[in-house]
């Protein structure tokens, strides 16, 4: 049997069925048994780490194909990001799976519907955090790709303010810190402190701890970016 990453080897849940199952079946061969697909489509199953990673790879493939061409430099930057995030051995396996997915037509609307219906909100928010992070890794994201990431976030059922918040963690506007905290620049000190506490709770790494330590570490980065925005506002306002 082919070697698979520890997440895939630990088992897939709901991603075996539906459009994601059809896509990854190409990459996994006999690992995805067609006889199991109906069972997973009709049963409520918790998200596994494998489900999260496979969903991430499918969405990344869709973004990479947004401008209808995938160049070698993109795969290089993606690999570098994955190595830093997940380690070299796991990253190499993920790249192999990603290459297989890139060969296929991705029914993106159906994919996002499947993820939205199966994955909890904090995990979907973490997906978009990772996708924005990997999209700006080479500093050369196209307008087409950026628009598609925003559309994916919307189709995953994320709120408009959460999408703006995560986007400004990576693509900073003039008032980026306020946008990260999901508040208006005219907010007073108490409103800013309240917004920070609420957002820190919403983005706490423990909310995705069930997905494994590697995913939790990436969630910690998002948590730190919230703190970075808060500290920037405090310096600007000379707040205690």
Q: Which residue has the higher pLDDT, 214 or 2?
A: 214
Q: Does 160-240 carry CATH code 1.10.275.10?
A: no
**pLDDT value for 43:** 53
Mean of the per-residue pLDDT values of the chain: 83
Supply the pLDDT for residue 35.
44
Residues in contact with 178: Cβ distance below 8 Å, sequence separation at least 6, in sequence order: 184, 185, 187, 229, 233
How far is 167 from 122, CA to CA, in rounded Å?
A: 16
pLDDT of residue 34: 44
Q: What confidence tens digit (pLDDT) does each residue in 109-152 have? A: 999 999 999 999 999 999 999 898 887 766 667 788 889 999 99
Domain boundaries, the chain: 1-158, 160-240
Q: What is the pTM of this model?
A: 0.84
pLDDT, greater one: 239 or 177: 177
In this model, does residue 183 exceed pLDDT 50?
yes
User: In the prediction, which pLDDT does 18 show?
Assistant: 86
pLDDT, tens digit (0-9, with 9 covering 90-100), for 16-45: 888 998 888 766 664 555 444 444 455 556
Q: What is the pLDDT of residue 144?
A: 85
User: Confidence class of residue 12 from pLDDT cuts 50, 70 and 90?
Assistant: confident
Dist CA 173 CA 235 (whole Å): 17
pLDDT, tens digit, 9 for 90 and up, residues 75-121: 787 888 788 877 888 888 888 888 889 989 999 999 999 999 999 99
- The pLDDT assigned to 66 comes to 82
pLDDT for 37 equals: 47
pLDDT value at position 65?
A: 86
Q: What is the pLDDT of residue 41?
A: 53
Q: How many helices (H) and strands (E) does the chain have?
A: 13, 0
Q: Measured between alpha carbons, how far is 101 from 58 in angstroms, rounded to an integer?
A: 7
Distance, CA of 240 to CA of 233 (rounded, Å): 11
CA nearest to 49, candidates 204, 210, 203, 206: 210
């Amino acid at each position: 049997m082919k070697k698979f990453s520890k997440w895939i080897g630990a088992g897939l849940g709901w991603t075996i069925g539906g459009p994601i199952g059809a896509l990854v079946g190409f990459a996994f061969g006999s690992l995805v048994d067609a006889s199991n697909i109906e069972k997973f489509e009709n049963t409520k199953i918790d998200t596994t780490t494998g489900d999260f990673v496979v969903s991430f790879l499918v969405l990344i493939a869709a973004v990479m194909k947004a401008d209808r061409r995938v160049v070698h430099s993109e795969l290089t930057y993606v690999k570098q990001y994955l190595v830093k995030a997940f380690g070299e051995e796991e990253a190499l396996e993920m790249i192999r799976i990603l290459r297989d997915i890139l060969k296929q037509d991705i029914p993106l609307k159906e994919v996002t519907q499947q993820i939205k219906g199966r994955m909890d909100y904090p995990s979907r928010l973490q997906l978009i955090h990772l996708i924005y992070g990997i999209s700006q890794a080479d500093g050369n994201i196209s307008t087409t790709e950026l628009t598609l990431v925003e559309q994916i976030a919307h189709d995953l059922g994320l709120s408009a303010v959460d999408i703006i918040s995560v986007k400004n963690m990576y693509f900073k506007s003039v008032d980026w810190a306020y946008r990260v905290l999901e508040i208006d620049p005219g907010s007073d000190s108490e409103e800013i402190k309240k917004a920070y506490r609420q957002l820190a709770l919403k983005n706490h790494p423990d909310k995705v701890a069930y997905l494994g330590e590697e995913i939790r570490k990436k969630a910690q980065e998002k948590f730190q970016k919230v703190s970075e925005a808060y500290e920037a506002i405090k310096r600007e306002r000379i707040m205690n």
